[in-house]
Structure formats: structure tokens, C-alpha cells
A and B are shown apart, each in its own frame.
Chain A
Amino acid sequence: MKKLILAVLVLFSISAFAGHAPLPTELMQAKTVYIQNDGAPTSDLRVCTEELNKWGRFTVVSNPKDADVIFRLNFRIENGGYRVTSYGVSSTMNALKTITVLQRSTGNILWTDTRAAKLFGSPTKAVVNELRKRVEEQEKTDGKSK
């Protein structure tokens, strides 16, 4: 039994620390960002700008022509299936916020991630922080390999 628990713990820890796909060079070298709102609430635009300014890695510009990368904010509602309770069956909806990072010059997607809106915490903030974590992680790895 102990061995089984140990094996499960090892498996969980492996999956928790599973590697991320490397970020493209164009994203790692980008200096300027334009935030494009593609149907997200304006509050998300504000949160994204605040988070990027807090991070300080990129300069947020107001003209897309001056940007190395575009942060495209998108919002969609998705059917989250059905919830069965003692009161009956109700359908659930998920509000999903996506940030897609594009290379301005080519339109290639460099990175993307989505979070579902929850009662507390901003999904937009969570996506920017996820990117921040990955960029910092990659800089460490690149620094080690040099």
C-alpha cells in the first residue's frame, strides 16, 4: 500500500513539473507590445496593461505599427455541461478569457493561453502571470545552457 501511495505521489510530482514548450525567440526578444481588444471587456484591457507595466519587461505602445508583438484579448462563453443537484438539472456556462500573443510582422501565433472566469481573481491577470513565469523560467534555462 505504501509503495502504491509513493508511486502516485511520484507520478503527481512528475506531472506538476512537466516541461513547457519553449517560447519562440521572437517573443523572448520582443520589447514593445500593443494590446488589441478582440471582444473582451474593457476591464480586461486595463488589467492586462497594469500587469504588463508591473512586470516591466515590455513597453506598451498605442500604435500597433510600433509593436514587436500583439497581445490579443478575447472573451467567449462556452457551455460547461450540466450540473445535477438535488434540486434538479441546470446547465453551466464558462466565461473564458484568452490572450494570444502574435508576432506583428508575420501574424504568427507565438503563445496563447486561456483561463475561465472565477468568483475571485482575474483570469487575464492569471494568463499574463503564466507567461511571465514561463519567460523567467526560459531565461533561467537559457542562462544555464550558455
Chain B
Amino acid sequence: MTSSLMLRSLSTKMALAVLVLLSSSAFAAHEPLPPELLQAKTVNIQNYSGQASWADGCYDELQKWGRFKIVSNPKDADLIFRLSYRVQRGRATIDIIQTSNHRMLWSDTRIWSVKSVVKELQGRIREEESAGR
């Protein structure tokens, strides 16, 4: 085998290994969500981000999803969706807090997008429910 053929074969194998690694990480199992999050019915959005549009985006995405009833009074909510802005430029975080005991149930951060955090949560809940956990 010539050296160029050997190199080509090696690079094909490496590309294959990278693809396998990427696909396995994409389907890696997630930590199970707390039952309080899965059983929650009502949500209050608290916007600590300083950006009105982020509350709009979160509200819009939750409305589209339709899983939770959005309430204006935190006392009526099972969960608080707390939106915040991280020091690094444009990082949107949603912390989900259980209202009754202030325990943090779930949190995620994305660049500039509150909507994609809600979508991530939606995906995880769907995944967990379809797995019948």
C-alpha cells in the first residue's frame, strides 16, 4: 500500500471515529428531571434579565407548548421560571424554582435565546415521558 493510500484510509477512520463520538454525545442520557417539575401545572415568569423581550420570548414559547398555565402571581404558581442574564455577553439563563421550598429544579443557559432554553426543557420532558420514567 502506498503512503497516500494509507493516509487516506487513516483519515477516513478518524472521520468515522469523530462522527461516532459526536453522535453518541448527541444521544447521551440526560439526568432525570425532578417529579415536581414533571407534575407542575402552573408557572410564573420572573424576569431578572433586564430585557423585556426575553420575558416575551419565554411567554410566547410556553404558550405555544401549552403544558403549563402561566399565572401572574408567584403565589399561585407551582414553578418560577427565573430569567437572568449572565456576565458573559448575551447569555440567557432560565432557572426553574419550586415555589413552595425555593429549590432549584432545573437550569440551562443559551447564547441570546430564552426560547431555545424552553425548547430544550420541552425536549427533555418529552424524552422522559416517552421513556416512561
Chain A residues with CB below 8 A from B74, complex form: 108
Q: Point out residues on A near B: beta carbons under 8 Å.
A: 18-22, 24-26, 74, 78-79, 81, 96, 98, 100, 108-109, 111-114, 130, 134
Chain B residues with CB below 8 A from A113, complex form: 50-53
Chain B residues with CB below 8 A from A26, complex form: 72
Closest to A20 in B: B56
Number of A-B contacts (CB under 8 A): 53
Contact A109 B73 (CB under 8 A): no
Chain A residues with CB below 8 A from B60, complex form: 18-19, 21
B49 at the interface (CB under 8 A from A): yes
Main secondary structure of the interface of B (DSSP, over half): mixed
Chain B interface category by residue count: 10 to 19
Closest to B82 in A: A109
Closest to A127 in B: B52
Contact of A21 among B49, B50, B58, B73 (CB under 8 A): B58
Q: In the complex the two chains form, what is the Cα distance from A98 to B52 in whole Å?
A: 10
